[in-house]
Amino acid sequence: MSLTRRSLLRQTILASAELPFAPFVFAFGSPESSIVIKREDGNPISLPESFIGLGYEMSSVATPGLLSAENHSYVALARGLSREGIIRVGGIVADYTRYQVDGTPRADRQNTIVTRKSLQQFAGFLSAIGWKAIWSVNFAQGTIQDAVVEARAVADILGGRLEAIEIGNEVENYARGQKFFRQPPYDYAAYRAEYAAWHTAILKAIPGIRFAAPDTASSVEWVERMAEDSRGDVQLLTTHYYRNAQARGSADQLLAPDARLEEKLVRLRAASQTSGIPWRMCETNSFSGGGLPRVSDTFVGALWTLDFMLLLAQAGCAGVNIETGINQLGFISSYSPIVDGGRGANSVGASYYGMLAFAVASRTNNQIIPIGIDTRNERVTAYALGREGKVRSVVAVNKSRESSYKLNIAELGLHKGAILRLNAPSPESKDGVRFGQAAVDSRGEWVPASSERLSAGPFVLPAMSAAVIVLG
């Protein structure tokens, strides 16, 4: 039996981690048209109910009427993904944001003003969708005193809807780039000392408040060190991921595995297991800079989103915040699952359907079940979800442009159910994406138009498509 690059990488990483880890889905065997999916050894991995999340620049909260309980289509779109999700508000705009109690809200990428009314609007939105929020304070250019005032207002107004406070955004970059927020060299030790002072002041003002950190752009080392030297001053480990920068992106990158990501996930899981602190991918999407037009906003982006979220869940991630809406550059990102049309006019991008497929597969399921798939094509992946160790849904993703496969899942013990297809007219389609042969309607609601019944034999998974099999 030959092993592919992906499985060899997995074995190397697991050997160095020296920690129990449920297997990644990996490829082996000879290419063939029929694929068998079966259970593998390993304990199921917990899937939190709040796993699904969305991520916003701070300016979105300052925009009147956007994240509002009165924006009914937006409320429906969020609730369609999860009943207990988490919104992360931060991004680069958080480095240019001020809190003014009774000021005039301003949604400007380098001069955003959040007010009490902004927070009240946001609190109403969170209540309407049943979600919580991670909130970033301005660690880059603000003061401890500013942060205490802002955090107290956020905690008072959001109440139980506040999941955690973040101190800073992409903190390892503060002495890099076009504008330095700290004088170089700015290393982890310098950051950790500042974090401790800010944490102490905020916690003293708001006893019991939770913190998420270090919120790095890409550094796993800073996350590992934060986990290692945590003294109870962080309750959630956070970092970011983008497949590449926009200028260096391509469709093929979203269709192929990313060895860099796989190694990162193993290290993050190890840090979380050792410290006992959960970790969250709190800002992520396909390509930084707003995504790659004609790639991130197409069906390729939808398939990538679905597979990416499942890969994170399989790696023990506590949750993922998919970036959406207006970015730090001031335009609506190509990768947005939810597109803001203004004045309450919201629609879905192609990637929303990837999130929706994940939502349907994970609904009522709180575990990822380890499985194996016998194909050498690394663009074909499969995942099993369930409860109490029993498989209740299966997701198969085929990101191959050429090959269709017959999938046999009989050995998983799932003998009856419905097959919901995720497909589109072409991989490059922006419109016409369907899940269960249905689109999300103008009210933000989705109901499957049709499904196939799972039979005793294999089912066909066409090229550039996905299928969600749910018990029933």
pLDDT in tens, 352-382: 999 999 999 999 999 999 999 998 899 999 9
Among 81, 164, 53, 72, smallest CA distance to 125 is for 72
Least-confidence region, from 16-25, 262-271, 455-464 = 16-25
CATH of the domain at 232: 3.20.20.80
Domain of 15, CATH number, reads: 2.60.40.1180
3-state secondary structure the chain: CCECHHHHHHHHHHHHHCCCCCCCCCEECCCCCEEEEEECCCCCEECCCCCEEEEEECHHHHCCCCCCCCCHHHHHHHHHHCCCCEEEEECHHHHHEEECCCCCCECCCCCEEECHHHHHHHHHHHHHHCCEEEEEECCCCCCHHHHHHHHHHHHHHHHHHEEEEEECCCHHHCCCCCCCCCCCCCCHHHHHHHHHHHHHHHHHHCCCCCEEEEEECCCHHHHHHHHHCCCCCCCEEEEEEEEEEHHHCCHHHHHCCCHHHHHHHHHHHHHHHHHCCCEEEEEEEEEECCCCCCCCCCHHHHHHHHHHHHHHHHCCCCCEEEECCECCCCCECCCCCEEECCCCCEEECHHHHHHHHHHHHHCCCCEEECEEECCCCCCEEEEEEEECCEEEEEEEEECCCCCCEEEECHHHCCCCEEEEEEECCCCCCCCCCEECCECCCCCCCCCCCCCEECCCCCEEECCCEEEEEEEC
Identify the pLDDT of residue 25.
39
Domain end, chosen from 314, 347, 362, is at: 362
| Residues 233 and 117 placed together within one structural domain of the fold | yes
Is residue 118 domain-shared with residue 28, that is, in the same domain?
no
Check pLDDT > 60 for residue 21. Answer: no
| Closest residue by Cα to residue 289 from 246, 244, 231 | 246
Residue 112: alpha-carbon gap to chain centroid: 25
CA distances from 295 to 290, 302, 333, 336, 419 (A): 11, 10, 12, 12, 27
pLDDT at 416: 87
Q: In the numeric block, which tokens belong to residue 355?
A: 């999130």
Comparing CA positions, the residue from 83, 109, 74, 84 lying closest to residue 94 is 109
Domain identity same for 219 and 283: yes
Phi/psi for 90 (5° steps) reads 180, -110
Residue ending a domain, among 362, 392, 418, is 362
Give me the chain's average pLDDT, please.
92
Question: Do 278 and 413 have their domain in common?
Answer: no
pLDDT of 425 reads 98
Give the mean pLDDT of 314-332.
96
Output 317 or 415, whichever has higher pLDDT. Answer: 317
User: What pLDDT shows up at residue 33?
Assistant: 80
Provide mean pLDDT across the span 290-300. 98
**Residue 120: strand pairing partners:** none
Shared-domain flag, residues 33 and 138: no
- Counting the structural domains of the chain, the total is 2
Q: Are residues 270 and 227 in the same domain?
A: yes
256 and 389 co-located in one domain: no
pLDDT of residue 14: 37
Same domain, 86 and 183: yes
Cα–Cα distance for residue pair 143/140, rounded to 1 Å: 9
State residue 19's pLDDT score: 41
Q: Which domain holds residue 41?
A: 5-45+366-471
Q: What pLDDT is stored for residue 344 in this prediction?
A: 65
Parallel/antiparallel/unpaired status of strands 97-99 and 112-114: parallel
pLDDT by residue (tens digit) across 427-455? 999 999 999 999 999 999 999 998 899 98
From 304, 330, 362, give the residue that closes a domain.
Answer: 362
Same-domain check for residues 126 and 202: yes
Mean per-residue pLDDT, 317-337: 97
Confidence of residue 340 (pLDDT cuts 50, 70, 90): confident
Mean pLDDT across 454-465 = 91
State residue 457's pLDDT score.
Answer: 82
> What pLDDT, on a 0 to 100 scale, did the predictor assign at position 26?
35
pTM: 0.93
* Partner residues linked to 45 by β-bridges: 368
Q: Clarify whether residues 305 and 156 are in a common domain.
A: yes
- Same domain? For 116 and 40 the reply is no
Buried b (16+ CB within 10 A) or exposed e, 20-37: ebbebbbbebeeeeebbb
Q: According to the model, what pLDDT value does residue 343 have?
A: 63
CA-to-CA dists, residue 31 to 35, 376, 397, angstroms: 9, 6, 16
Please tell me whether residues 206 and 260 are part of one structural domain: yes
For range 18-36, the mean pLDDT: 49
